[in-house]
Amino acid sequence: MRARVTAATAALLLAALTACGGSDGDETAAKPKKSAAAEAAPSEEPTAGQVEEGMKFGEPATTTGDGGTGVLEITPDTVVFTKEGGGETAANGVFVVVTMKDKAMTAVAADEPAPISGGGWKWMAADGEMIDTQVGNAFNVTMDKYNNADPVQPGAYQWRSQVFDLTEAQAKGGTLIYIDGEEKAHRWQMPSEDTGPSVAEVKKLLEF
């Protein structure tokens, strides 16, 4: 009889110890978990690669200069579609020539990031394909008035241009994208025909 009592007592002690040992797991399970929505909620602070709201062609964008220095207000001004320009023929079917006005908005000079840094100008076709200005014969098309590339001085502005060598499909329904010195992408929905106040001038400059 005494042996049975001792065995029963040992069993009770073992059960109690087991219950105590599992308390940590119970406390962990009892802690409230963050919802998936809360964990996925974006920070209010801007992050690299942030995409600005899309704009209409001709609307200005306030952008950060190369290396985070200064502020440029960039306004796409005129776009011309042509098979030939500057003595060159489009390798892929059509040149899309875009002019823009870069204006310094702060007391320090500001510049556009160089393409080698991953910034600057891109063309996004309707199907999402990204094309830069180094494709085809685009790099060889130049216009004297729009070839400025020096940092824009405080209180001043420059006329610049970008040229893309595209297929006809890529040129239709495209989006012009500019990635600034903070890696923010500014985008403009592009027309599919010559548009802007300087169409005649740009066409004249493209003739050789």
Task: Render the burial of 4-42: b for 16+ CB within 10 Å, e for the rest.
Answer: eeeeeeeeeeeeeeeeeeeeeeeeeeeeeeeeeeeeeee
User: What's the pLDDT at 29?
Assistant: 41
Query: Can you give the pLDDT at residue 52?
Result: 58
| Whole-number pLDDT of residue 118 | 85
User: How far apart are alpha carbons 171 and 93 in whole angstroms?
Assistant: 10
Paired tokens of 165: 């060598």
CA dihedral 134, 50, 190, 86 (to 10 degrees): -20
Q: Amino acid identity, residue 206?
A: L
Question: What DSSP designation does 138 have?
Answer: G
Per-residue pLDDT, 12: 39
SS in 3 state form for 56-110? Answer: ECCCCEEEECHHHCCEEEEEEEEEEEECEECCEECCCCEEEEEEEEEEECCCCCE
Distance CA 65, CA 61 (A): 12
- pLDDT tens series, the chain, 208 aa: 444 444 444 443 344 434 444 444 444 444 444 433 333 333 333 344 455 568 999 999 999 999 999 999 999 999 999 999 999 999 999 999 999 999 999 999 999 998 888 899 999 999 999 999 999 999 999 999 999 999 999 999 999 999 999 999 999 999 999 999 999 999 999 999 999 999 999 999 999 6
Q: What is the largest CA-CA distance in the chain?
A: 117
Q: What is the pTM of this model?
A: 0.75
